A and B are shown apart, each in its own frame.
Chain A
Amino acid sequence: MFHNNRINIISYGRLFCLVTICSFMTILLSCNTVYAANADIAFGSDSYTANSGGTFPIGVYLNSNESTGEFVVNLAYDNKRLVYESGASSVDADKGVITIRGNSISAGSTRYWLQFRAVSGGDAFIKVRDYTIKNSGNNSNAIVTTQSKAPIHISGNDTVGYDVERTLEDTSTNQNTSSLDDEVDDYYEENDESDKGILSNVWYVIADFMTALAAKPVAALLMILCIAIVVIIVFILVYYFKNKDSLVGNENDAIKSNKNNSNRNNIVTNIDSLTPVPKVVDNKRLKDIEREGRENLGKIVIRVKHVTMVYNMSGSDASGLKEYIIQWVKHQVEYSKLYALRDVSFNVYRGEVVGIIGSNGSGKSTLLKIVSGALKPTLGNVDVNRRKIQILTLGTGFDMELTARENVYLNGAIIGYSKEFLESHYEEIVAFAELEDYMDQKVKTFSSGMVSRLGFAIATAGDAAEILILDEVLSVGDESFKKKSLKRIKEMIHGGSTVLMVSHSMKTIIENCTKCVWIEKGILKMIDEPKVVCDAYKNYSNG
């Protein structure tokens, strides 16, 4: 029954996966895009007033949210009306430029007091001409916001007579237009067109691109990041599709060895050879039943083909995640295997009522789950139209905190009824469950019989589903309700439903079924008339 196996191979794929994730995180962390220091150059007030002939201070504030690197701030001022006295690092009185420089601005606010003397009346100004503030480490620039200009009103006689600022601007713009850069650009353009051809153009573009990247490390990092993500996604997809066709997991060596082998029968025989299945089913008798079924009923509705279900009972529950990850990388996760079903095959024809019996834990509910599509079998498959299946199990899925009415809607929705259907059939469901007076009470106040009655009513409310799976539902409620539910089920069977039911009550099986399947410890022991199988089962459990 249990089968241990250990494979000890370091999976380079998995290792690579981890390493990629780690490096991805590192790139993310090293990518300094959002936060440069935020700096701010401001004057103490929006405007100043002064008297001609008097001295006055102007406060220049350098604010920063963290300590920065080197900085240079050039202030332009009205050098005709104002005479600079003290406070800054250097001054060029002829051009009217005051320079403040230093090695760092500490976090918070740093103030420079600039002393001026007014020599003439009129409207003077002081403004931030340009600045460079580097981040700590001096390799990139901080983000700077400035209040660029403060007007100064000086009372007294205006001896200058013209607007100094405007003249300053005029000269400065004139200087700019005749700068060297343009000439260089022109030179490049001419050269490109004349002699170097397409190839050099390409080189030029590439070189240009590289310089642009070098100038913007942020963009470069982002690009690397995008490429890394694309690589990771491609890698994951490839990994995913490569492993998609492996069955339950890589750990399953028996299956792995057969992965390339497309012939399913081969795999089944392989499993068989692994752990030989005692053949109990009488093949001849089985064929007789098959033929009978075909003749009487025609179409196969459920075709269970060589279904084997292996549960991996992982032993790693107790140990931590870290252990698990190490083992995962080493392909060493340890499982013991539990064969819940072994090579089970049978057919169910339309209109048949098939009972499934067997002792507890013999794989009955696993089989129902596989048929209903909740589980995928390890090997083999089940052909069935899963849309037509309706499962009835006892008292499951009720929310104790909700009222019965809400539960009807919730459960109905999950079973697959539409809203309109539930609204029109609500009364019917309630009437069948005989719970008219209790529908607005919470389900936790219900007795277990009431809960199962409601469950049965909801589950059977629809038009008879073509395939009905009943998991121990025919022992619901009191005697009268039992009769009622049995009648309902019989109606459904009569309406052409095919039924698959699990029960421990031999009486129900013998009374209702046309065929019976006995599963013991995952092995199909017998398929035959209900009476024959039940007798055999009784003998087995007694003996």
Chain B
Amino acid sequence: MSSPNDDSITKYGKSNRFNSGLNNVGDYRRRKRKNFIKKTVRKQRDFKQYFFVIRELTKREIKRKYARSVLGILWSVLSPLLFMIVLSLIFSTMFRRSIENFPVYYIIGHTLWELFSEATRGPMTALVDNKTLLIKSKLPKQTFILSRIYTAFVNFLYTCIAMAAVMLFFRIQPTIYTLLFPVAVILCLIFSTGVSYIIATVYVFFGDIKHLYSVFLRMLMWLSAIFYPVERLSGLMQRVVGNNPVYLFIHCSRDCLLNGVLSDSSVWIKMIIWSFAMLIIGIIVYKRKENNIMQRL
């Protein structure tokens, strides 16, 4: 982060000026305050610019994704609905006894799963895809990773429309715990950010990780109990699934939206630990390899 905002020359200039004329303490303080205000304004402007870039990049991603389709972004709403219908046709009778409301059960799982997989698969290639822009841009390189995550989030908001529609259709009553759903989503995003930092870094050095990760994602999907009741699994598998972070997010969301109960405290603790530990590890991995990434690109 430090290198692009290197101000060494300006600092130099300031100190010279200070030495030459302005020995007055009051002057110095006023100058200091002025500098502080200037810096804050600049920071604000930087942040605004940062967000503007992320939004523009996201716009591009979404436009690209639906470049050739007529319905465009509407597919984000339609595809989970179609998936839900297909899977409900097959599985809802199979799991009638253990899942009360299969379509809702499924669509919540599907939505959260898509959020996670999009928010990690996209950023994985972000650095390599934007090679040329990376060199041009004075912004920190994470912008490109973050913009892909933001893209996944925007997509997720659209899928939420589908989810809300299904919940209305099945007359699921909102409870006070529904308000906790965004918290679960934010934790999921934090977790995804950590994962993205790691795999985006690894992808720069090992292209193979793309294929490996898709296999890994498939495995994780089966371990996330998206369309089957976790109670049907054997004891060991239940434990594995119970510690799968993605399942935790899904489970928590289901508790918030479908069951209207507060999840177990152990679920919350695990979620928080997973997401923040992953974020910290991700940032450390990325920071350590940042310079090597630029060399490699």
Interface residues of A (CB under 8 A from B): 28-35, 38, 65-66, 136, 218, 222, 225-226, 229, 232-233, 236, 240, 243, 248-249, 300-301, 303, 311-312, 314, 320-321, 324, 369, 372-376, 383-387, 389, 391, 393, 396-397, 399, 401-402, 406, 409-410, 413-416, 418-419
Beyond the given A393-B135, A399-B64, could you list 20 further A-B residue pairs with CB under 8 A, ordered by the A residue number? A30-B239, A33-B242, A33-B264, A66-B234, A222-B266, A232-B277, A373-B3, A374-B294, A375-B291, A383-B9, A384-B8, A385-B6, A386-B3, A386-B6, A397-B130, A397-B132, A397-B133, A402-B63, A414-B56, A418-B45
Question: What are 14 residue pairs bridging A and B, where the CB atoms are less than 8 Å apart in the complex?
Answer: A32-B239, A33-B266, A314-B205, A369-B294, A384-B6, A386-B138, A387-B7, A387-B138, A401-B64, A409-B56, A410-B59, A413-B49, A414-B133, A415-B137
B60 touches A399 (CB 8 A): yes
The CA of A174 and the CA of B94, in the complex, are separated in Å by 49
The CA of A402 and the CA of B9, in the complex, are separated in Å by 39
Contacts of A401 in B (CB 8 A): 63-64, 67
B267 within 8 A of A: yes
Contacts of B287 in A (CB 8 A): 240
CB distance from B64 to the nearest CB of A (A): 5
Given A391-B135, A415-B136, A416-B49, A385–B64 Cβ distance below 8 Å? Answer: no
Given A33-B266, A233-B277, A375-B295, A396–B243 Cβ distance below 8 Å? Answer: no
B266 touches A34 (CB 8 A): yes
The CA of A397 and the CA of B144, in the complex, are separated in Å by 13
The CA of A65 and the CA of B230, in the complex, are separated in Å by 10
A226 touches B273 (CB 8 A): yes
Query: What secondary structure prevails in chain A residues at the interface with B?
Result: mixed
The CA of A409 and the CA of B56, in the complex, are separated in Å by 7
A374 touches B277 (CB 8 A): no
Contacts of B205 in A (CB 8 A): 314
A34 touches B291 (CB 8 A): no
Query: B288 is contacted by which of A240, A399, A413 (Cβ under 8 Å)?
Result: A240
The CA of A359 and the CA of B35, in the complex, are separated in Å by 45
A416 touches B273 (CB 8 A): no
Given A233-B277, A409-B56, A28–B243 Cβ distance below 8 Å? Answer: yes
Query: A386 is contacted by which of B4, B130, B251 (Cβ under 8 Å)?
Result: B4
A410 touches B56 (CB 8 A): yes
B33 within 8 A of A: no
What residue of chain B has the Cβ atom nearest to residue A368's Cβ?
A: B135
The CA of A156 and the CA of B110, in the complex, are separated in Å by 58
The CA of A122 and the CA of B268, in the complex, are separated in Å by 50
Tell me the count of chain B residues lying within 8 A, CB to CB, of chain A. 63
Given A29-B239, A65-B98, A374–B6 Cβ distance below 8 Å? Answer: no
The CA of A31 and the CA of B136, in the complex, are separated in Å by 48
Query: A383 is contacted by which of B8, B49, B242, B294 (Cβ under 8 Å)?
Result: B8
What residue of chain A has the Cβ atom nearest to residue B141's Cβ?
A: A374
Contacts of B136 in A (CB 8 A): 391, 393, 396-397, 414-415
Query: B284 is contacted by which of A225, A240, A375 (Cβ under 8 Å)?
Result: A240
B243 touches A376 (CB 8 A): no
Query: A248 is contacted by which of B52, B266, B292 (Cβ under 8 Å)?
Result: B292
The CA of A29 and the CA of B132, in the complex, are separated in Å by 43
Contacts of A29 in B (CB 8 A): 239-240, 243
What residue of chain B has the Cβ atom nearest to residue A225's Cβ?
A: B273
Given A373-B138, A397-B136, A402-B64, A66–B6 Cβ distance below 8 Å? Answer: no
CB distance from B170 to the nearest CB of A (A): 23
The CA of A258 and the CA of B231, in the complex, are separated in Å by 59
What residue of chain A has the Cβ atom nearest to residue B144's Cβ?
A: A414
Contacts of B235 in A (CB 8 A): 35, 66, 136
The CA of A376 and the CA of B230, in the complex, are separated in Å by 50
In this complex, which of A28, A225, A375, A414 has the most chain B Cβ atoms within 10 angstroms of its Cβ? A414
10 smallest CB-CB distances across A and B, nearest first, come from A396-B132, A65-B231, A33-B266, A34-B242, A413-B56, A397-B133, A35-B238, A413-B53, A385-B9, A28-B243
B78 within 8 A of A: no
Contacts of A233 in B (CB 8 A): 277, 280
Contacts of A389 in B (CB 8 A): 138
What residue of chain B has the Cβ atom nearest to residue A236's Cβ?
A: B284
What residue of chain B has the Cβ atom nearest to residue A109's Cβ?
A: B97
The CA of A393 and the CA of B136, in the complex, are separated in Å by 8
Contacts of B280 in A (CB 8 A): 233, 236
Contacts of A34 in B (CB 8 A): 238, 242, 251, 264, 266-267
The CA of A261 and the CA of B234, in the complex, are separated in Å by 59
B23 within 8 A of A: no
CB distance from B185 to the nearest CB of A (A): 20
The CA of A374 and the CA of B6, in the complex, are separated in Å by 12
Query: A249 is contacted by which of B9, B230, B292, B294 (Cβ under 8 Å)?
Result: B292
Query: A385 is contacted by which of B10, B63, B67, B295 (Cβ under 8 Å)?
Result: B10
The CA of A153 and the CA of B288, in the complex, are separated in Å by 75
B15 within 8 A of A: no
Contacts of B234 in A (CB 8 A): 66
Contact with A along B272-297 (1 / 0, CB 8 A): 01000100110010011001101100
Contact with A along B150-167 (1 / 0, CB 8 A): 000000000000000000
